Structure 1
Amino acid sequence: MRRQKRIFVIVIDSLGIGVMPDGERFGDIEVNTLGHISESVEDFQIPTLQKLGLANLTPLRQVPEVARPLGYQAVLKEKSNGKDTMTGHWEIMGIETRKPFKTFTEHGFPKELIGELEKRTGHKVIGNKSASGTEIIEELGEEEIATGHMIVYTSADSVMQICGNEETFGLEELYRCCKIARELTMREEWRVGRVIARPYIGKKKGEFERTSNRHDYALKPPMRTALDVLQDHGFDVISVGKIRDIFDGEGITKAYKSKSSIHGMEQTNEIAGKDFHGLCFVNLVDFDAKWGHRRDPEGYAKELEQFDKGLSVLLETLREDDLLIITADHGNDPTYIGTDHTREKVPFLAYSKSMEGGGRLSEQDTFAVIGATILDNFGLSMPEGTIGASLLGELK
């Protein structure tokens, strides 16, 4: 296959396709996000993903394999020690994370950290437990509005999330508090991957609604990634969704913030209609945040069907010198116990209108084949200390 002018990488956040060999070490046994979604619903229509060979990677009850799928398919294993968003995305672009981020799911954040946060921000902390964002706002939103206290919570991921009512707490004050929290959680014993501002509106229970003014304060990648190399050599690196936050802006030349996964695909299709030279890197988070963590396989299935429709538009819009790669960053089996991510393999689907061949590639031992393939396409090499070998020579 000739080298392409534009590459689109779409991360369907949490779309795992089967447990990793070391899944039991992470508490994950016989998990399969996509497979179990298919088993849990009666109707499941994803014709575009089917044509690209997604069902050829893991059996789906309603979606048969196709004999001659469009493009190439592979299963990717995660080499890093973790199963969170940042670890998965960083690995896609070449970083192997050996020391996992801290989680505080069982008991909330330590009293020493909370004490420092209260002292530095001037707000008393309420909550401090693992919770659903929408549920904890319903539980404590009225108290926060009445007292000026600050809702802090975590999840199964390595995050500290802070809620603030936009009308009473104030958006800028919420961001200020989150910046202080990010500074505090740089300490090794409190090191979380992200501090997330979670603004909401409403005056009482039943009326509260989170807004799109969320902001993630992430750790910077510990080394240069494929994104930095692209930027250094003058290529466009366009991010859609929370990609910019995950990489703390490193290597990004232009960022689009999405209100939802459907909106993210609309933005991607709009970008595909414009001219650029380089990478469009997309994260579609609703699969994970709305359906995986909330253990809702039916909602997940419907979201995938909506994505499939947007994907069909993208395939029509793609040019002869475009390459599309679809993948995921971890699993989040909505039929499994708890609310945590699941340690899973992920799909690799690659398609270009200029491809002459197609079919199944061998299983790969790291997500980083994606970053390496992107750089190889543009005649560049992965930065020192990173992992990943290019698959470009196999995409013909």
Structure 2
Amino acid sequence: MINNVTLIVLDSVGIGELPDANKYGDEGSNTLGNIIKKTKGVKLNNLNNLGLGAIEGVEGLDSINNIIGSYGRLAESSAGKDTTTGHWEIGGIILKEPFPTFPDGFPEELILKYEMLIGTKTLGNKVASGTVIIDELGEEHMKTGYPIIYTSADSVFQIAAHEDIIPINRLYEICEIARGILKDKYAVGRVIARPFIGRPGAFSRTSNRKDFSLKPVDKTMLDFIKEAGMEVMAVGKIEDIYSGQGITRSIHTSDNMDGIDKTIEFMKEHKKGLIFTNLVDFDMKYGHRNDAEGYARALEEFDNRLPEIIENLSDDEVLMITADHGCDPTTASTDHSREYVPILIYGKMIKNGVNLGTRKTFADIGATIMNLLGLEGLNNGESFASLILKN
């Protein structure tokens, strides 16, 4: 029996367009592959040793004779390509309908109702890049005190505010108010607090971002693990994505390296259950900003920390590394992309060099983790535990 699984989501590290990518405008997207081509020489030796370069569709990494992990890729069965959809599917929920998006901004009646509830007018209400819109409206926001509302190709209602104008606690409060009215046809996947600091011409976003997600529509692997009396330790925005459901302990992080530090701290406890980590910098800092060089550096930084993560695995523990969607920084789009994601599995009880091929759904991860921990009950996903466990 496996005592603990550490699951790390490299947010947006997709590995090639899905067959239906054309329906989402994502033809040609290949987050990892295009970064490797553009940057010429990104070194991911430790990930490659686990099998990254051997996954179908991944090109540009050296071939490895003695792969030390099991590996494969997963297709997304849910409709959509956002963070909540991807993470929920990993946990066992497959969404037949995507969360609503608002390419022309939010309806006037909704904004008027929101302004009435928070007692102030708002600015923006359009599709925009988060860094661009604070440069555009930040000064007016500071003069008026009105929060900046914007969205993207994803199902999000984002609220940007200067920390000196709208204090963090008040920003979170007005996000909660938005979450309360964004229901039914307006039920976006996430309301996101986007605090920033600085002065006009030199604004910068802070690490006090917070996501206010919908409650999962069904039980996930987190619920089953928690109900079995095991720990579910969430690192980064996992708590926000699952709206706190099925989590026993959580800690938010300032960046990827802090996320790895906090993950290792949990690993050192060797508690029975799941450590579930999201490393968001790939997506937030580099994918959405079309910064391929920065993305490549962030991948190398993670790769350099991977031996340290592995060193903290006990013999009866397993490490899994995956992603939740793509966000190709080399395409014209600054939004998420509909892509396959990698799955890498390592542990003393895991076979070396097993190619899992292409799996039908991210939910296979949840089903496998449940299987490894001796649990059952998930509605979706097929476990690949029997393929990777040593006898």
TM-score, scaled to structure 2: 0.96
Q: 2:40 aligns with which of 42, 48, 65?
A: 42
C-alpha deviations, 1:285-325, integer Å up to 9, x for none?
Answer: 11111111111111111100001111121112211111011
C-alpha deviations, 1:83-126, integer Å up to 9, x for none?
Answer: 1111110000110101101112x311111111111111111111
Give the distance between the partners of 2:146 and 2:84, measured in 1 at CA: 29
Q: How does 1:17-166 map to 2 (within 5 A)?
A: 17-57=15-55, 58-61=57-60, 63-104=61-102, 106-166=103-163
Aligned residues: 388
Give the distance between the partners of 1:336 and 1:345, measured in 2 at CA: 17
Give the distance between the partners of 1:219 and 1:113, measured in 2 at CA: 18
Is the 8 Å Cα contact of residues 265 and 311 (structure 1) preserved in structure 2?
Answer: no
Out of 279-288 and 139-148, give the one that drifted further.
139-148
Residue identity matched to 2:83: T
Give the distance between the partners of 1:297 and 1:320, measured in 2 at CA: 37
Q: Which runs of 5+ in 1 are unaligned?
A: none
1:233 shift after superposition: 0.7
Matched, 1:388 2:384: no
What is the SS of the residue equivalent to 2:299?
helix
Give the distance between the partners of 1:355 and 1:74, measured in 2 at CA: 14
Out of 353-362 and 216-225, give the one that drifted further.
353-362
What is the SS of the residue equivalent to 1:168?
coil
Q: How does 1:161-310 map to 2 (within 5 A)?
A: 161-186=158-183, 188-202=184-198, 204-310=199-305
Q: 1:326 aligns with which of 311, 317, 321?
A: 321
Q: Which runs of 5+ in 2 are unaligned?
A: none
Give the distance between the partners of 2:270 and 2:342, measured in 1 at CA: 28
1:43 shift after superposition: 2.2
1:356 shift after superposition: 4.5
Residue identity matched to 2:207: S
Residue identity matched to 1:150: P
Is the 8 Å Cα contact of residues 176 and 212 (structure 2) preserved in structure 1?
Answer: yes
Out of 260-269 and 48-57, give the one that drifted further.
260-269
Is the 8 Å Cα contact of residues 76 and 340 (structure 2) preserved in structure 1?
Answer: yes
Residue identity matched to 1:221: P
Residue identity matched to 2:123: I
Q: Which residue of structure 2 lines up, in the alignment, with residue 341 of structure 1?
A: 336
C-alpha deviations, 1:38-78, integer Å up to 9, x for none?
Answer: 000122111110101101113332x2121221110111111
1:154 shift after superposition: 1.0
- Fraction of identical pairs, as percent: 47
Q: Which residue of structure 2 lines up, in the alignment, with residue 313 of structure 1?
A: 308
Give the distance between the partners of 1:197 and 1:379, measured in 2 at CA: 38
1:138 shift after superposition: 2.1
Give the distance between the partners of 1:210 and 1:341, measured in 2 at CA: 20
1:197 shift after superposition: 1.1
Give the distance between the partners of 2:149 and 2:237, measured in 1 at CA: 21
1:333 shift after superposition: 1.3
Give the distance between the partners of 2:253 and 2:154, measured in 1 at CA: 21
Residue identity matched to 2:7: V
Give the distance between the partners of 2:203 and 2:21, measured in 1 at CA: 37
Is the 8 Å Cα contact of residues 70 and 356 (structure 2) preserved in structure 1?
Answer: yes
Give the distance between the partners of 2:86 and 2:174, measured in 1 at CA: 27
Out of 8-17 and 159-168, give the one that drifted further.
159-168
Q: CA RMSD in A?
A: 1.3
1:155 shift after superposition: 1.7
1:152 shift after superposition: 0.7
